Amino acid sequence: MNVIREDLNALNARLKVKVSPEDYQPKVSETLSKYRKTANIPGFRPGHAPMGMIQKQYGKSVLFDEVSKMVTDAINNYIFEEKLNLLGNPIPVEENGFNGDFSNPTDFEFIYEIGFPPSIEVAISNKDSFDFEKVDVNQELINKQAEDIRRRYGKLVSTDEVQEKDLILGRFVELNDDKSVKEGGIDHTSSISLEFLDSEDVRKLFVGKKVGDSIELNPDDVSKGPKDKAAMLGVKEDALENVSSLFSYTINEVKAMELAELNSDLFLKLYPDATVTNEEEFVARIKSDLEKMFEQDSDKKLYRTIYDSLMEKVNADFPDDFLKRWIKQVNDKPVTDEQIEAEYEGYRNMLKWQLIEKTLFDKHNLVIDQTELVNFTKHLLRTNYANYGIFEVDEEELTQSAMKFLQDKKQTDSIISRLAEDKLINLFKTEATLKEKLVSYEEFIGK
């Protein structure tokens, strides 16, 4: 048996596998002999049926199976021995991909097409300059975070006058165009949270109003789409087309959020490890947590900045026709050429970044070893335990849990992807020239 490689260009080649009777006949004869020993053929004891009958009944299918196995093994061995770096897997060529006749077997020839990734040059050095934005964790931001925390752990109390973040319980009454009450119209009690209204103008309609006051209101202005509007008015969604846009809304009750007190009870709820015991430590912890959070956000934004730059700068041609045919063949469900064309650019960009990432790893001697995988997984598990209030975990038990977790290939691939991103971020921060820019939180998220 012989495997011949024919290069079509830098990105495409063909593998021709020639199989002769001398290659497949011994294996076919051996398999048919095994069939003969167990074949249950009427009129013959097991193992005594004539070989000609066995050959007639099973010969063609056995020949096909054995030749197919031999060809697959030959191609896989060739790829391994030649250390070929392929995109996808070998696929039969569309035309003349097979020569031979399994009904009258002699020599066979199988032709497969293979695709290669392009060769690129990319590295990171101090000649590469990028903006590196960092959030200014100022007192205003700290105060806002402290208020959000206190609000989250606060309680609702009744009040007489509406403020801009209050929760209102009121009565919707449907009106006619002349603002009279619509006979048989909607009359339903619902709550409105002013804090989450999109429109500042609508919020101002409520601020300063008191229990018993009424305002004219369009339910669309205080709901988040048809489903929410229907629930707010107490009707089915398909009935909305007959509903007026003019309602009166009478305030029955106003609930204000009373912020949680800054005391030992709150600190213990927030930090069960008792690392925060007073207001000064609370403020310092908020500042530290925000800085850590925004540091991660800054790193991810830097990663995206450099990702975009490299994707634009690096030119990489791919064997597109081959890849499209390969995608179509390996897809679990039937896929049309139109679907492939619509999604191919995204797939191609994914391959391009994988190629850039691999090249950067090779150029800068970056590796992800098993120890890193296990330690990172243990870190994830510790975080999960901490979320349930478990801070002390046996190290051996944690290691065993991590190893079991990594048996899931999907989970392992996800962790490898995160580790690869972390390593590239560290590479960018140590090798590239970064121009640090201190920006406000609003500027940071607005870009």
384-412 pLDDT tens trace: 888 777 778 888 889 999 999 999 999 99
Q: Is the pLDDT of residue 38 over 90?
A: no
Q: Is 148 part of any domain? A: no
Q: Residue 95's pLDDT is what?
A: 63
423 plus 291 within the same structural domain: yes
Question: 326 and 249, same structural domain?
Answer: no
Contacts of 371 (CB under 8 A, 6+ apart): none
Which spans in 153-260 are helix H?
A: 200-206, 226-233
Q: Confidence band (pLDDT; 50, 70, 90) for 447?
A: low
Structural domain contains residue 240: yes
pLDDT at residue 42 greater than cutoff 90: no
- State yes or no: pLDDT of 138 exceeds 80: yes
**What pLDDT does residue 96 have?**
61
Residue 141 lies in a domain: no
Tell me the torsion sign for CA atoms 190, 194, 196, 201. positive
Of the three residues 197, 231, 258, the one that is the final residue of a domain is 258
Pairing of strands 87-92, 433-439: unpaired
353: tokens are: 């970044």
Helix runs in 106-138, H state only? none
> Are residues 413 and 298 located together in one domain of the fold?
yes
- Look over the chain and give the mean of its residue pLDDT values, rounded to a whole number: 93
- What DSSP letter does each residue of 5-58 carry, written as one string? EEE-SSSEEEEEEEE-HHHHHHHHHHHHHHHHHH---TTS-TT-S-HHHHHHHH
pLDDT over 80 at 94, yes or no: no
Q: Tell whether 325 and 421 lie within a shared domain.
A: yes
Domain span holding position 28: 2-115
User: Is 261 a residue whose pLDDT tops 60?
Assistant: yes
Q: How confident is the model at residue 37 (pLDDT cuts 50, 70, 90)?
A: confident
Lowest-confidence range among 233-237, 247-251, 328-332, 350-354?
328-332
> Are 69 and 211 in a shared domain?
no
Predicted confidence band at 52 (pLDDT cuts at 50, 70, 90)? confident
286 and 226 housed in the same domain:
no
pLDDT at 388: 79
Strands 98-99 and 214-217: unpaired
| Alpha-carbon span 326 to 48, nearest angstrom | 46
pLDDT, tens only, 321-330? 999 999 988 8
